[in-house]
A and B are shown apart, each in its own frame.
Chain A
Amino acid sequence: MRQTIAERIFTKKCGKIVVPGEIVEADVDYVMVNDITGLPAFEEFEKLGKKIKPIANKIVLIPDHYVPNKDVPSAKQAFAMREFARKYSIKNYFEVGRGGICHQIMIESGFVAPGRLIVGADSHTCTYGALGAFATGIGSTEAAGVFAMGKLWFKVPESQKVIIEGNLKEYVCGKDIILNIIGDIGVDGAIYKSMEFYGSTIKNLPLSDRITISNMCIEAGAKTGIIPPDEKVFNYLSGRVRGGYDPILADADATYLENFHYAAKDMVPMVAKPYLPSNVIPASECGVEIDQAYLGSCTNGRIEDLRTAARILKGRKVHQNVRLIVVPASKDVYARAMREGIFEIFLESDAFISGPTCGACLGGYMGVLAPGEKCVSTTNRNFLGRMGDAKSEVYLASPATVAASAIEGRIVDPSEVKHEK
Chain B
Amino acid sequence: MKNKMKGRAWRFKDNVDTDQVIPAEYLITGDPKELSKHVFEKVRPDFAGSVKVGDMIVGGKNFGCGSSREHAVRALMGAGISCVIAESFARIFYRNSINLCLPPVECTMEVKNGDLLDVDLVEGRIQNLTDGRLYSFRQFPSFAILIMQRGGLMRYVEDSCTE
Give A residues with C-beta under 8 Å from B: 23, 36-37, 39-40, 43-44, 47-49, 51-52, 65-66, 71, 73-74, 76-77, 121-123, 125, 137-142, 144-145, 148-149, 153, 155, 187-188, 191-192, 221, 223, 276, 362-364, 381, 383-386, 390
Contacts and interface: CB of A to CB of B under 8 A. Distances in A.
A141 B162 contact: no
B162 A52 contact: yes
Interface bracket on B = 35 or more
Interface string B132-163: 00000000011110010000111011101110
Contacts of B99: 139, 141-142, 145
Nearest to B87: A188
Contacts of B17: 381, 383
Contact of B154 (A44, A66, A155): A44
A144 B29 CA distance: 16
Contact of A221 (B20, B68, B90): B90
B36 interface: no
Given A73-B29, A364-B24, A385-B19, A49 B158 contact: yes
Interface string B1-44: 00000000000000101011001110111100000000000110
A140 B70 contact: yes
Interface of B is mostly: helix
B117 to A, nearest CB: 24
A123 B25 contact: no
A141 B67 CA distance: 15
Contact of B15 (A36, A76, A141, A188): A188
A30 to B, nearest CB: 16
Contacts of A52: 158, 161-162
Interface of B: 15, 17, 19-20, 23-25, 27-30, 42-43, 61-62, 65-71, 73-74, 88, 90-92, 95-96, 99-100, 141-144, 147, 152-154, 156-158, 160-162
A414 B90 CA distance: 34
Contact of B152 (A49, A77, A141, A192): A141
B90 A141 contact: no
B157 A23 contact: no
A138 B68 contact: yes
B20 A383 contact: yes
B97 to A, nearest CB: 9
B95 A23 contact: no
Contacts of B90: 188, 191, 221
Contacts of B29: 73
A388 to B, nearest CB: 9
Given A123-B66, A145-B153, 12 more contacts: A36-B71, A121-B70, A139-B68, A139-B70, A142-B95, A145-B99, A188-B61, A188-B62, A192-B91, A276-B15, A363-B23, A385-B42
Contacts of B161: 48, 51-52, 148-149
Given A137-B92, A145-B157, A187 B15 contact: yes
B65 A51 contact: no
A52 B61 CA distance: 39
Contact of A37 (B68, B100, B156): B68
A43 B100 CA distance: 14
A20 to B, nearest CB: 13
B157 A149 contact: yes
A279 B35 CA distance: 30
A48 B157 contact: yes
A190 B68 CA distance: 16
Nearest to A276: B15
Contact of B30 (A43, A66, A137, A191): A43
B19 A191 contact: no
Contacts of B147: 153
Contacts of A37: 68-70
A187 B13 CA distance: 14
B154 A145 contact: yes
Contacts of B88: 188, 191
B111 to A, nearest CB: 20
A139 B93 CA distance: 8
B74 to A, nearest CB: 7
A145 B155 CA distance: 9
Contacts of B162: 51-52
A90 to B, nearest CB: 18
A52 B100 CA distance: 20
A141 B74 CA distance: 11
A15 to B, nearest CB: 18
B92 A188 contact: no
Contacts of B19: 381, 383-386
Contacts of B69: 36-37
13 contacts: A23-B142, A36-B27, A48-B161, A52-B158, A66-B28, A123-B67, A137-B92, A139-B73, A139-B92, A141-B70, A142-B95, A364-B25, A384-B19
